[in-house]
Amino acid sequence: MSDVAERLAELRDKGLQRRLRLVDGPQGPRVLLEGREVLLLCSNNYLGLAEHPQVRRAAADAALRWGAGAGASRLISGNMEPHRRLERRLAAFKGYEAALLFGSGYLANSGTIAALAGRGEVVFSDELNHASIVDGCRLSRAETFVYRHRDNEHLAWGLERTHGKPALIVSDGVFSMDGDVAPLEDLVELARRYRCRLMVDEAHATGALGPGGRGSVAAAGLSEEVDLVIGTLGKALGSYGAYICASRELSEYLLNAARSFVFSTALPPPVLAAAEAGLGLLEAEPQRVERLRANATALRDGLAAEGLSPGGGESQIVPLEIGDAGRTMELCERLLERGIFAQGIRPPTVPAGSSRLRFTAMATHEEEELRQAAREVGAAARELGIATPAPRAPALAA
């Protein structure tokens, strides 16, 4: 008991204690946050599909037709028509033979990596990969070689010297807290050279990058070369859950071997129907992706015009690194007073000393409100005497 109290006190002392904030209403461009209207700048509802009338209606209709829950895992009695249909559509959208749904991105990553790598093998993982990838590596009992962020030379060095069998290279496509993109061509080349599988997590790339929002792998024209892509239904697609796309054989193997698939209840029909409606809207209205991109640029340019140095590439994720956790939360609170909500991101979500505000643009924002928000950020940062460090140069691949 006292142990937990001590650990909480330690978190408080380090400025790392977290708490839940209450959002009232759907994830639109503006929300009521604990009674105050704010511009929402930290939701992953990138395309505004979570609150879209057609998506809501699809969920409601599916609840009436199929019920609220699936009742069991897919392999027992929970496999329904909406699962099969959505898997087919996702595979077609991503250009893969097959797709397999999982309860969440966390479950997809942890279960898939653990199923594809084992004792005596090695998984190669970018140091800034999402926590669910890190946990998948731990679950696998394989050795994990963590290579420096986007550093192909370090990865190649590790592949060359490994004593175990290289089983898998795994990377975020768009890095969730940094917004930069993995060097996919080099990863493909290394995976081929060392005869191991390549898995790319497209959680933040689907709906945001590539032709029609098909993701970073499709943007690089590498769908034929990347063995598995993971995507989520809970971000740009506006619903909840996740999927992997792969060959029919790999997908059939995961259906048998991924414990997070086998031992977990199937996604509920309303969630599936919402995701399918979201996917339909993405396909029918690719201009949403263009809006997202334009809005991200407006936000990035606005922050730069304030003398701030947002990091990342050109994605919808616009991180503003502050460094110290306490200072980051001060800026976060100051912005709330100015009607802007961008949650502070602290360790262990990001490495120690790199706490940040992680702004995310949505297609449903107006460019002008993003420019105004950037001015507010500039003013709040000046009030607090915060100068953001220049973004670190991306790791060079010599």
Residues with active-site annotation = 176, 204, 235
Which of 43, 45, 152, 176 is in the footprint of ligand PLP by CB under 6 A?
A: 176
**Does 87 participate in binding ligand PLP (rule CB under 6 A)?**
no
**Does 201 participate in binding ligand PLP (rule CB under 6 A)?**
yes
Torsion, Cα of 345, 330, 43, 318 (10° steps):
-70
Which of 111, 231, 234, 278 is in the footprint of ligand PLP by CB under 6 A?
A: 234
Give how many residues touch ligand PLP by CB under 6 A. 14
Binding mask 132-161 for ligand PLP (x = CB under 6 A): x-----------------------------
**Does 106 participate in binding ligand PLP (rule CB under 6 A)?**
yes
Residue 322: CB minimum distance to ligand PLP, A: 21
Residue 211: cis peptide before it, omega within 30 degrees of 0: no
Tokens found for residue 35: 């009674």
- Pick between residue 55 and residue 156 the one whose CB is nearest to ligand PLP: 55
Q: Which residues of 279-316 are buried (b: 16+ CB within 10 A; e: fewer)?
A: bebbeebeebbebbbebbbbbbebbeebebebbbbebb
Q: What CA–CA distance (Å, rounded) separates 8 from 1? A: 11
**Does 182 participate in binding ligand PLP (rule CB under 6 A)?**
no
CB closest to ligand PLP, residue no: 105
Stretches 105-113, 216-224, 295-303, 367-375: which one binds ligand PLP (CB under 6 A)? 105-113
**Does 187 participate in binding ligand PLP (rule CB under 6 A)?**
no
Contact residues for ligand PLP, defined by CB under 6 A: 104-106, 109, 130, 132, 172, 176, 201, 203-204, 232, 234, 242
